[in-house]
């Protein structure tokens, strides 16, 4: 801005100075020209007067009788004295008499021969006055003819027209004109082209001086060597008169320029500098720096700066909020999965020889809390869990991965990871008191150690998860370290999971049936449907292997549906008194579709409801007793029977037996195996059969393999026997043959 305004002012100033100077110059030039013309005109008038004076003087002598007589008689002395006396009388410089024959008398010394000849020629041709150059001077000459009465000669008077005389003349003019009379040949170079008859004015340079010169024709006595009046004038001198004005203007311009520069600088300081500062600040903000612009004024720019600062603060606050939202869990304020991954990367980079441990965990029963007490309670529980975890691992980095999953990174080194794992489990095993509710939860913990268990966040998290999976399988409330084998298992599991997806569609699933023998009826009373997977490559896969996987993945729902339909279909062709028992997984049991599926199975096959027995396990009572009981009653309302499978192995509370009248208790095989080895086993069987009798429930002993077991069971009042003693599970097509064989055996017995 300073430069622009300064340059602008200098330009305007320069142009006006230049214009002024030009105006002055052209004014001076035209003034001088006028003066010159006036001067030379004056000279012409003066010359005319002088010529007349000279002429009159000459005429006085030429008409003098005595002189004429002297001329007539050629009286030289008289002529000479007459000329001399008149010359003195009139103050004339030269007085001559030129006789008609060309001889000269008087001041002839001044003239050379040729000059005398020229004079005579002029007079002879009738030119009686004019300027002529004699010697180094110019002269003003006027001649008067002498007649006696015939022309006998001429009286010639002349006056010097040298520098001094011309100067006198010039003094009449106001300007210093330096007049000169010069033959054309001697004119200054600039005027050399001047024509003898015209006034010519030219400008020229003498050294550093600008000159103006004018040539003016004069009346010449000798036209062959004409003289011109030359006036010269120094324009530089003329301009000199104006130089104070120009100097003043220049000084004014200089001061003005300084003032303009100063003003522009001050203005740019006040306007441009804050704007530049704002612009720089904006650039910094866009590159993520924090800036605060200094507010120096109270004007618009000051207000702009204030608004800018407010905007920067608002942007930063929002940025912080967004960053916080992007990296933190809204509910607990803990780091989220994204931040945890970043943090793990940082830990990995700076991990020393000790490394660090990553703990992954999730809550037991969290779904139940959400379902029964509502989501607000679930949320409150999660917050409580978050604060307990922070207390349990004060040096740890705690994150919530989503749902009821948490992770903690602790840099304390592998040695203490075991203690920390235990501390975490302990912290969450203590009952929670949330909004007046007492909630008992718990957790399992999977631990991955860095760097040996993974060189990046993804691997570490996956491995800690595998360890968690294993910890949960081992029983809740434990912690497990990752082992390389887990990874292999997980891969195998994933492969099997993929295959299981296709098993149903590809018809690889099949039901086998194992008879239940009624001791009092002395015949087969039912068959249990047991699932078989005939994998084209793996061969026959045990349900103990693939059922848990199907439960985890949810595949158990469609598989279980198929089992119910298939079992009903097969059983509908059996004799009326034979039931079919179907195993129902807890996952299936909790799904809302079980009732509908059972109804469909019965309807489609035409099987009587009381011929279908559903086997459930005690594990259902661990979680939500109320809901389990409600579902059981609604199943029972369909008219089907319900048996409690693997009785005695799971959740050992008998209270639910009071709450729900099972149709049958199936005594777990482990008790039957023990029968021959432990005395106490018999007592347990007796206790169970007595309890079942009292509650009006039937009993079935599972896994009976020999007749000794059978004898004890019969003695202790067990109702039915299932086991290899009678038959292994067999394909559906073999059921008829088996029934006939067993009937034959019975008849034989």
Site residues for ligand C2E per CB under 6 A:
514, 529-531, 542-544, 547, 563, 583-585, 615, 645-646, 702-705, 722-724, 729
Min dist. Cβ of residue 661 to ligand C2E (A): 21
Binding span for Mg ion by CB under 5 A among 179-187, 262-270, 432-440, 695-703 = 695-703
Of 453 and 615, nearer to Mg ion (C-beta) is 615
Cβ nearer to Mg ion, comparing 214 with 617: 617
Contacts of 661 (CB under 8 A, 6+ apart): 695, 696, 697
Q: Among all chains, which residue has been given the structure tokens 């009326």? A: 576
CB 697 → ligand C2E: shortest distance, Å? 17
Choose the one of Mg ion, ligand C2E, none that binds residue 212, judging by a C-beta under 5 to 8 angstroms depending on kind. none
Q: Does 618 bind Mg ion (CB under 5 A)?
A: no
The entry of ligand C2E, Mg ion, none that residue 214 binds, CB within 5 to 8 Å by partner kind: none
Helix axes 2-62, 163-170, angle to 10 degrees: 120
Q: How far is the CB of 556 from ligand C2E (least distance, A)?
A: 7
With contact defined as beta carbons under 8 Å apart, do 463 and 430 qualify?
no
Nearer to Mg ion, 115 or 702 (CB): 702
Output 654-659 pairs: Cβ under 8 A, ≥24 positions apart: 654/691, 656/621, 656/625, 656/628, 656/629, 657/691, 657/695, 657/697, 658/695, 659/625, 659/629
Interacting partner of 404 out of Mg ion, ligand C2E, none (Cβ under 5 to 8 A depending on kind): none
Number of C-beta neighbours around residue 92 at 10 A? 21
Nearer to ligand C2E, 362 or 702 (CB): 702
> Min. distance of Cβ 540 from ligand C2E in angstroms?
10
C-alpha to C-alpha distance for 526 and 735, rounded to whole angstroms: 11
Q: Which is nearer to Mg ion, 449 or 580 (CB)?
A: 580
Which residue is associated with the tokens 């003094």? 171
**Closest to Mg ion by CB, 698 or 702:** 702
Instruction: Decide which of Mg ion, ligand C2E, none touches 543; Cβ closer than 5 to 8 Å per partner kind.
Output: ligand C2E
Which partner from the list ligand C2E, Mg ion, none does 639 bind, CB cut-off 5 to 8 Å by kind? none
Nearer to ligand C2E, 378 or 729 (CB): 729
Give least dist CB 513 to Mg ion, A.
12
Q: How many CA atoms lie within 13 A of 500 on its CB side?
A: 26
Pairing, β 356-363 against β 200-206:
unpaired
Picked from Mg ion, ligand C2E, none, the partner binding residue 453 (CB below 5 to 8 A depending on kind) is none
723 binds, among Mg ion, ligand C2E, none (CB under 5 to 8 A by kind): ligand C2E
Residues 470, 475, 481, 482, Cα dihedral to 10°? 0
Least CB distance to ligand C2E at residue 581 (A)? 8
Token pair for residue 226?
């004409």
Q: Which of residues 697-716 bind Mg ion (CB under 5 A)?
A: 702
DSSP letters, 464-531, are: HHHHHHHHHHT-SS-EEE--HHHHHHHHHHHHHHHHHHHHHHTT-EEEEEEEEEETTTTEEEEEEEEE
Q: Which does 717 bind (CB under 5 to 8 A by kind): ligand C2E, Mg ion, none?
A: none
d(CA 528, CA 580): 6
Instruction: Name the strands in the sheet holding 129-134, side by side, starting at the edge strand that comes first in the sequence.
Output: 104-106, 94-99, 151-160, 137-147, 129-134
∠ Cα 547 553 558 (to 5°): 70
Q: Which CB atom, from 165 or from 615, has the smaller least distance to Mg ion?
A: 615
Candidates 135-143, 185-193, 278-286, 580-588 — which segment interacts with Mg ion by CB under 5 A?
Answer: 580-588
Residue 566 contacts Mg ion per CB under 5 A: no
Closer to Mg ion by CB, 61 or 672: give it.
Answer: 672
Partner that binds at residue 514, options ligand C2E, Mg ion, none, CB closer than 5 to 8 Å by kind? ligand C2E
Instruction: Give the nearest distance from C-beta 368 to ligand C2E in angstroms.
Output: 21
* Site residue total, Mg ion (CB under 5 A): 5
Distances (CA, A) of 703 to 673, 687, 706, 718, 720: 8, 19, 9, 13, 11
- Shortest Cβ 560–ligand C2E spacing (Å): 6
- State the nearest-atom distance from the C-beta of 530 to Mg ion, in Å: 7
Range in contact with Mg ion (rule: CB under 5 A) among 211-219, 457-465, 566-574, 610-618: 610-618
Alpha-carbon distance of 693 to 696, in angstroms, equals 5
- In the shown chain, the binding pattern of residues 524 to 563 toward Mg ion, with x for contact by CB under 5 A and - for none, equals ----------------------------------------
Residue 329 interacting partner from Mg ion, ligand C2E, none (CB closer than 5 to 8 Å by kind): none
- Comparison of 357 and 550: residue with beta carbon closer to ligand C2E: 550
Least gap, CB of 643 to Mg ion (angstroms) = 8
Beta bridge partners of 617: 645
585 binds, among ligand C2E, Mg ion, none (CB under 5 to 8 A by kind): ligand C2E
Q: For residue 645, state whether it binds Mg ion (rule: CB under 5 A).
A: yes
- Selected from 227, 443, 583, 720, the binder of Mg ion by CB under 5 A is 583
Between 499 and 615, CB nearer to Mg ion: 615
Question: Which H or E run includes 234?
Answer: strand 227-234
DSSP label at residue 328: B
Specify the residue, 156 or 594, whose C-beta has the smaller distance to ligand C2E: 594
CB atoms within 10 A of CB 62: 23
Closest distance between Mg ion and the C-beta of residue 722, in Å?
8
Directed axis angle between helix 707-715 and helix 679-695, to 10°? 50
Structure tokens at 401: 């991965």
Q: State the virtual CA torsion across 637, 643, 647, 651 in degrees, nearest 10.
A: -20
Name the segment binding Mg ion (CB under 5 A); options: 503-511, 567-575, 645-653, 676-684. 645-653
544 interacts with, out of Mg ion, ligand C2E, none, CB within 5 to 8 A per kind: ligand C2E
Contact 389, 427 (CB under 8 A): yes
Burial of 274-305, coded b for 16+ CB within 10 Å and e otherwise, reads beebbeebeeebeeeeebebeeeeeeebeebb
531: partner contacted, choices ligand C2E, Mg ion, none (Cβ within 5-8 A by kind)? ligand C2E
703's contact among ligand C2E, Mg ion, none, with CB below 5 to 8 A by partner kind, is ligand C2E
Per partner kind, with CB cut-offs from 5 to 8 A, the member of Mg ion, ligand C2E, none near residue 561 is none
One of 232, 615, 618, 698 touching Mg ion (CB under 5 A): 615
Q: DSSP states of 331-349 as a string? A: TT--B-HHHHHHHHHHHHH
Q: How far apart are CA 218 and CA 44, in angstroms?
A: 7
Q: Which is nearer to Mg ion, 362 or 645 (CB)?
A: 645
Nearer to ligand C2E by C-beta: 365 or 722? 722
- Contact of residue 386 among Mg ion, ligand C2E, none (CB under 5-8 Å per partner type): none
| Cα–Cα dist 106/89, whole Å | 15
Find, among 160, 197, 201, 198, the residue nearest to 181 by Cα: 160
Tokens, residue 129: 């006055």
Residues that bind Mg ion (CB under 5 A): 583, 615, 645-646, 702
């Amino acid at each position: 801005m300073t430069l622009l305004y300064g340059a602008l002012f200098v330009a305007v100033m320069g142009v006006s100075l230049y214009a002024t100077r030009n105006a002055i110059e052209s004014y001076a030039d035209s003034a001088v020209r006028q003066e010159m013309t006036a001067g030379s005109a004056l000279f012409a008038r003066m010359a005319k007067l002088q010529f007349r004076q000279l002429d009159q003087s000459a005429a006085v002598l030429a008409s003098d009788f005595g002189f004429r007589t002297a001329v007539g008689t050629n009286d030289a002395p008289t002529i000479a004295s007459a000329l001399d006396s008149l010359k003195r009388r009139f103050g004339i410089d030269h007085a001559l008499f030129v006789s008609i024959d060309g001889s000269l008398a008087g001041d002839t010394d001044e003239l050379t021969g040729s000059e005398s000849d020229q004079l005579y020629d002029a007079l002879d041709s009738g030119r009686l006055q004019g300027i002529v150059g004699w010697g180094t001077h110019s002269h003003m000459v006027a001649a008067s003819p002498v007649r006696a009465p015939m022309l006998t000669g001429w009286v010639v008077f002349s006056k010097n027209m040298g520098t001094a005389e011309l100067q006198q003349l010039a003094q009449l003019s106001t300007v210093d004109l330096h007049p000169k009379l010069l033959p054309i040949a001697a004119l200054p170079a600039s005027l050399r082209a001047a024509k003898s008859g015209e006034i010519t004015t030219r400008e020229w340079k003498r050294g550093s001086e600008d000159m103006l010169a004018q040539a003016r024709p004069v009346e010449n006595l000798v036209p062959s060597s004409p003289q011109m009046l030359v006036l010269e004038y120094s324009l530089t001198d003329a301009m000199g008169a104006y130089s104070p004005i120009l100097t003043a203007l220049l000084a004014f311009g200089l001061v003005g320029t300084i003032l303009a520069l100063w003003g522009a600088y001050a203005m740019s300081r006040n306007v441009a500098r804050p704007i530049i500062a704002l612009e720089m600040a904006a650039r910094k903000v866009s590159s993520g720096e924090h800036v605060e612009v200094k507010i120096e004024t109270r004007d618009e720019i000051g207000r702009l700066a204030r608004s800018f600062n407010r905007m920067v603060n608002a942007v930063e606050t929002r940025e912080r909020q967004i960053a916080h939202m992007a990296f933190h869990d809204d509910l607990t304020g803990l780091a989220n999965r994204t931040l945890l991954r970043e943090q793990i990367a940082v830990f990995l980079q700076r991990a020393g020889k000790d490394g660090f441990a990553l703990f992954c965990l999730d809550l037991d029963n969290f779904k139940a809390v959400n379902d029964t007490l509502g989501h607000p309670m679930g949320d409150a529980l999660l917050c409580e869990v978050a604060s307990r975890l922070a207390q349990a691992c004060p040096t740890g980095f705690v994150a919530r991965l989503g749902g009821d999953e948490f992770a903690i990174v602790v840099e304390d080194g592998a040695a203490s990871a075991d203690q920390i794992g235990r501390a975490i489990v302990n912290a969450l095993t203590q009952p929670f008191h949330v909004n007046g509710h007492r909630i008992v939860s718990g957790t399992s913990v999977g631990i991955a150690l860095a760097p040996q268990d993974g060189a990046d966040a993804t691997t570490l998290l996956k491995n800690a998860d595998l360890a968690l999976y294993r910890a949960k399988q081992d029983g809740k409330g434990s912690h497990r370290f990752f082992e390389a084998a887990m990874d292999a298992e997980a891969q195998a599991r994933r492969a099997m999971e993929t295959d299981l997806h296709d098993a149903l569609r590809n018809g690889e699933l099949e039901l086998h049936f194992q008879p239940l023998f009624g001791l009092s009826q002395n015949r087969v009373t039912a068959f249990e449907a047991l699932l078989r997977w005939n994998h084209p490559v793996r061969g026959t896969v045990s349900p103990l292997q693939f059922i848990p996987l199907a439960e985890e993945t949810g595949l158990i729902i469609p598989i279980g549906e198929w089992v119910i339909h298939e079992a009903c279909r097969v059983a509908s062709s059996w004799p009326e008194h034979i039931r079919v028992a179907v195993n129902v997984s807890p996952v299936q049991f909790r799904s809302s579709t079980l009732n509908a599926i059972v109804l469909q199975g019965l309807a489609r096959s035409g099987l009587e409801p009381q011929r279908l027995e559903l086997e459930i396990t005690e594990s259902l009572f661990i979680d939500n007793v109320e809901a389990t009981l409600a579902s059981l009653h609604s199943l029972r309302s369909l008219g089907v029977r319900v048996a409690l499978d693997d009785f005695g192995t799971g959740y050992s509370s008998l209270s639910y037996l009071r709450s729900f009248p099972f149709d049958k208790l199936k005594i777990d095989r482990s008790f039957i195996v023990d029968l021959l080895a432990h005395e106490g086993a018999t007592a347990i069987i007796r206790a169970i059969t007595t309890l079942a009798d009292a509650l009006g429930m039937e009993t079935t002993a599972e896994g009976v393999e020999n007749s000794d077991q059978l004898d004890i069971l019969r003695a202790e009042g067990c109702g039915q026997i299932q086991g290899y003693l009678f038959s292994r599970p067999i394909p559906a097509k073999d059921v008829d043959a088996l029934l006939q064989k067993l009937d034959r055996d019975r008849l034989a017995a």
